[in-house]
Amino acid sequence: MDVLVIGGGGREHALAWRLARDEGVRRVRIAPGNGGTDGVAERVVDLDVTDPLAVTRHATRERYDLVVVGPEGPLAAGVADELASARVPVFGPTRAAARLESSKAFAKRQMERAGIPTAPARAFTDPDAALAHLHELDEPPVVKADWLASGKGVVVPETLEDAEAAVRGLYAGVAPGATVVLERRLRGPEVSAFALVSDATVVPLAAACDYKRLRSGDDGPNTGGMGAYTPVPWFGTAELERAAAEIFEPIAWRMARDGMPYRGVLYAGLMVTADGPMVIEFNARFGDPEAQVILPMLDGELSAALLGVVTGDRSLMEGSVEPRSGAAVGVVLASEGYPDAPVTGRPLLGADPASAGEDGPTLVFHAGTRATRDGHETSGGRVLTVVGRGVDLAAARAAAYRRLSDVELEGAQVRDDIAAPRPGGGDTLQR
């Protein structure tokens, strides 16, 4: 099989690495890739991956057997639609189906229609109406931008004043008429659950915990994600099956019934409340850095499972991959100044990227890096994810941090509490 991976982050390095390890995969290419992907895939440069026609022209010329779209940008731009209409096998939902991620208001409506547990919310296009609604609520709601805001569009205010400031702040940065959603605040631990979805067919894949705040102890601003681990001790196979029955299957069925069948990986951001798991958000893609820990924990043929999604073949979706025993912990190394104003162009040492031949206890997946004559330099906010694997989370965590201590980058930001046990809490983790 010849495969094209679209995207250039740590998730796509991990996808390309994992696909390159499949027996049935002859060649992997990646557009645009990053400074660490050369050892797993040949880079396609000069292709605008958010231009559906350009991507489709390239894909038909190269006759890929499978195109895997990593990030939400190309999906929201309709890259999967155009590829599918040219009969290129594409793993990733259409633009209409990807609205489960790109429009929070649409996602909320579909969840309500499908009877999926989620926090009650109201959408506003008028700042004054939104501000008035704030005063009718018992506690400050979560304030969400209804546009792709790269993880910066959600504010969880503690006070009414902060909620007002958040509403004003979001509207200040956007054209009039944009939608802001006010949602009841839920409480409980968060987990990212992933399922392969092809029309009404759902196969749960894995769950992972992601650390969104910049600094240890869940402090500092929200980021794209500073680390992740899998499996989740308190969200195992039984909980995933429950999520499949209560969340993934109803939404998949609803989308198919509405003429927007979902094909790809569906990521449910869940909060496990006293009343059971509730959906905070859907994403139309693998999580980043969740992908970096989930993909190295799948044995078998990933390309076959993804192709099963494209063709709607349940037995391929179910039978091609299986979880490895043990655990994986991923720790993100970010640039100084991330997330607001990352400093780039700094030399990066001791960060040899995972290559196709490598399957050891640690793996380094690059993101914001560029290859230089004698190594790598930084080119973005999240620079890389170091993944450790081991017999359990403690061993995987130790491996990841040991490997990370070899990486040198001036001003690097790293959390030291990814998958850390709670002080005195036995085997319960900090989250």
**Site of interaction with ligand AMP (CB under 6 A):** 119, 142, 154, 156, 183, 185-186, 190, 212, 269, 280-281
Residue from the set 283, 292, 320, 385 that interacts with ligand GLY by CB under 6 A:
283
- Site residues (CB under 6 A) for ligand GLY, limited to 5-24: none
- Which parts of 217-333 fold into alpha helices (H)? 237-243, 249-257, 290-294, 302-311, 314-319
Tell me which DSSP letter residue 94 carries. Answer: -
Read off the DSSP letter of residue 422. P
Q: Which stretch binds ligand GLY (CB under 6 A): 142-150, 230-238, 281-289, 396-404?
A: 281-289
CB of 169 to ligand AMP, least distance (A): 15
- The answer to whether 91 touches 75, Cβ cutoff 8 Å, is no
* Region label for 150, one of left (φ > 0), alpha (ψ between -120 and 50) or beta (otherwise): left
**Range in contact with ligand GLY (rule: CB under 6 A) among 153-161, 285-293, 322-330, 356-364:** 285-293
Identify the residue among 225, 227, 261, 380 touching ligand GLY (CB under 6 A).
225
Question: Of these, 12, 81, 290, 377, which contacts ligand GLY (CB under 6 A)?
Answer: 290
Question: Taking the complex as a whole, how short is the minimal distance between the CB of residue 165 and ligand GLY, in angstroms?
Answer: 24
Binders of ligand GLY in range 194-223 (CB under 6 A): 210
Which residues sit opposite 145 in a β-bridge? 180
Cα 6 to chain centroid, rounded: 14
78 binds ligand GLY (CB under 6 A): no
Quote the least distance from Cβ 317 to ligand GLY, whole Å: 22
Nearest to 91 by CA among 317, 310, 283, 313: 310
Instruction: Look at residue 231 and give the partner it binds from ligand AMP, ligand GLY, none, a contact being a CB closer than 5 to 8 Å depending on partner kind.
Output: none
CB of 151 to ligand AMP, least distance (A): 6
Residue 185 contact partner, candidates ligand AMP, ligand GLY, none, CB within 5 to 8 A by sort of partner: ligand AMP
The contacts of residue 331 (CB under 8 Å, 6+ apart) are 226, 227, 385, 386, 388, 400, 401, 404, 414, 415, 418
Q: Residue 81's binding partner, choosing from ligand AMP, ligand GLY, none, with beta-carbon cut-off 5 to 8 A by kind?
A: none
Q: Report, in Å, the least distance between residue 26 CB and ligand GLY.
A: 29
Can you tell me the distance from the alpha carbon of 259 to that of 144, in angstroms, rounded to the nearest whole number?
27
Q: Could you say whether residue 101 binds ligand GLY (CB under 6 A)?
A: no
Q: Alpha-carbon distance 266 to 111, whole Å?
A: 14
| Cα→Cα distances 302→10, 21, 317, 353, 364, Å | 17, 9, 9, 21, 20
Question: What percent of the residues of the chain are helix, what percent strand, and what percent coil, each to the nearest 5?
Answer: 30, 30, 40
Only one of the segments 132-140, 168-176, 280-288, 370-378 lies at the binding site for ligand GLY (rule: CB under 6 A); that segment is 280-288
Q: 293 or 307: whose CB is closer to ligand GLY?
A: 293
